[in-house]
Structure 1
Amino acid sequence: MVLTDTHTHLYYETDAAKQKEMMQRCLDNQITRLFLPNVDAASVPMVAQLVQNYPQNCFSMLGLHPCSVTKNWETELETIKASWNQNQKSYAVGEIGIDLYWAQDLLAEQQQAFRTQIKWAKEASLPIVIHCRNAFDEVYAILKEEHDEKLRGIFHCFSGDLQQANQIIELGFYLGIGGVVTYKNAGLDKVVQQIALEHLVLETDSPYLPPVPFRGKPNESAYLTYIAQKVANLHQQPVEMIAETTTFNSKKIFWV
């Protein structure tokens, strides 16, 4: 069995010994593929170091997080793009998108940065990994405008309703399912139950959004097994089948 965490910030753990222990817990739980999104220029080398330490297991995704978009977002973005030309392979552009929970005052800048990075992804034949918080309509409007055969990727940390899920799927995107699916009152479990597995990938977004029974504690990629088991229960399938299908989906997205 191979499990794939399509979205983890495991590199935030800067203590080398603790980071090594976290990676070992992943490998012990057959989580052998981890995709690492940076959030800004400063986090690019952090991602690169973890990829260097585990080249068979960790894969870079480079982009500018919407919460990192400032007035000088263009300069920050150029710094990140420059790293593409310094032998740091990127398997996706992300995480990118719009956040109107933490960063309501810079919507125009976030929209511009999102469009710019979508353009880069298309030019490089890369998928995008979308961060969307309190901004579904704004994100969806841009995706509709940009929609063509080159636009593909993951709607990271999906927590919307069935109608929104179907809108995303119709554009050819996959839904990133994380710890929220285990939350009793979130309602995501009922949505996931109605979505075919061919449209899903798994993620932790560690250290955020830990699944039950770890709510209130830092998340880590090793907890992906709890998310996989929940999806297995919802679809009444063996967890091995969930692992196989979602890992296959991830390979279709990232081409690795």
Structure 2
Amino acid sequence: MTLIDSHAHIYSEKFDEDRADAVARAQEKGVKRIYMPNIDHTSIDAMLEAEEKYPGVCLPMMGLHPTSVGKDFERELYIVEEWLGKRKFAALGECGTDLYWDKSFLPQQQEALKVQVELAKKHQLPIVLHSRDSFSETYEILAAAQDGTLRGIFHCFSGTPEEAQKVKELGFLMGIGGVATFKNGGLDKVLPQVQLEDLVLETDCPYLAPTPHRGKRNEPVYLPLIANRVAELLQQPVETVAEKTTENALNLFKL
């Protein structure tokens, strides 16, 4: 069974003591690729070092995370744009809006997202979206910019059936992670109403570890737990879930 972790911060300092072992554990469980979203200028070196050490396995994106958007966000975006001009990345991400941690910079977050949407178009890259407590704010910007060329993932999707339908109509995928395994995560009411063609799997490690590891450090080796839960909710064989979500990820990420 082959799986792809479409969103993992494997370069995080949380893995500094055992990153090689974590990658090896994941590969033994069939996780063949790990796509790494960038946060801001402080995460680039560690991310690219992981790519260098695990070529063909750990694949980087480039973007500015909304929680790193502040008064100097233009400077951060210049760095993103500079890197996109230097080399290939798997996607533009992660970017978006976040109203969970801090609402004071929402206008700046919205402007940063609009700029990154245009960069995704310019470089013909999929875009990986963060929309914590801010689905509407993120969706509206993407819907306004959609000209048939935008594609990507609403990462860590945990919305309503109506929001899932909006994502599908936009031509985007939903990234499903550990929340699907949570008792009160809510996805048990949503996933039975979606199709496998609209999903990719992710861990978002080191965050959001699936049950029974909730509250501990997450890592890509736990991706099969998420695949099994999705299979259960969609009443599909787990092998089918693995095959289709892997196909979806490979079709989206060209790198």
Look up the equivalent residue of 1:95 and give its one-letter code. E
Asked if the contact 1:95–1:130 (Cα under 8 Å) also holds between the matched residues in 2, the reply is yes
TM-score by length of 1: 0.96
Higher mean alpha-carbon deviation, 99-108 vs 111-120, is at 99-108
- In the alignment, structure 1 residue 10 sits paired with structure 2 residue 10: yes
- SS in structure 1 of the partner of residue 59 of structure 2: strand
Partners of 2:3 and 2:33 within 8 A in 1: yes
Q: Deviations over 1:202-239 (max 9, x none)?
A: 00000111100001111111100100011111122221
* Counterpart-to-counterpart distance in 1, 2:103 and 2:187: 25
Report the equivalent of 1:249: 248
User: Within 5 A, what are the aligned runs for 1:1-256?
Assistant: 1-13=1-13, 16-87=16-87, 89-256=88-255
Structure 1 pair 104–189 and aligned structure 2 pair: CA distance change class (3 A): same
Contact 1:4–1:250 (CA<8 Å) still a contact in 2? yes
Calculate the TM-score normalised by the size of structure 2: 0.97
Q: Partners in 2 of 1:56 and 1:142 — Cα distance?
A: 33
Other structure's SS at 2:210 match: coil
- Aligned equivalents of 2:15 and 2:111: distance in 1? 36
Q: Is the 8 A contact 1:37 1:61 kept in 2?
A: yes
Larger deviation, residues 184-193 vs 170-179: 184-193
Q: 1:190 to 1:76 in 2, by over 3 A?
A: same
Query: Structure 1 regions of 5+ residues with no counterpart?
Result: none
**Which sits farther off after the overlay, 201-210 or 16-25?**
16-25
> Aligned with 1:50: secondary structure?
helix
Alpha-carbon RMSD across the aligned residues, in angstroms, is 1.2
Count of residue pairs the alignment pairs up: 255
Shift of 1:2: 1.1
Letter in 2 for 1:251: L
Q: CA deviation at 1:127?
A: 0.5
- The offset of 1:86, in angstroms, is 3.6
| Cα separation, 1, equivalents of 2:15 and 2:122 | 37
Q: Retained in 2: the 8 A contact 1:44–1:80?
A: no
Query: In percent, how many aligned pairs have the same letter?
Result: 47
> What are structure 2's unaligned runs of at least 5 residues?
none
Contact kept? 2:91, 2:126, Cα under 8 Å: yes
Question: Structure 2 CA distance, aligned partners of 1:56 and 1:91?
Answer: 11
Secondary structure at the counterpart of residue 104 of structure 1: coil
Stretches (4+) displaced over 3 A: 13-17
Q: Please tell me whether the aligned partners of residues 158 and 179 of structure 2 are also in contact (alpha carbons under 8 angstroms).
A: yes
What SS does the aligned partner of 1:42 have?
A: coil
Question: Does the 8 Å CA contact 2:14/2:206 hold for their aligned counterparts?
Answer: no
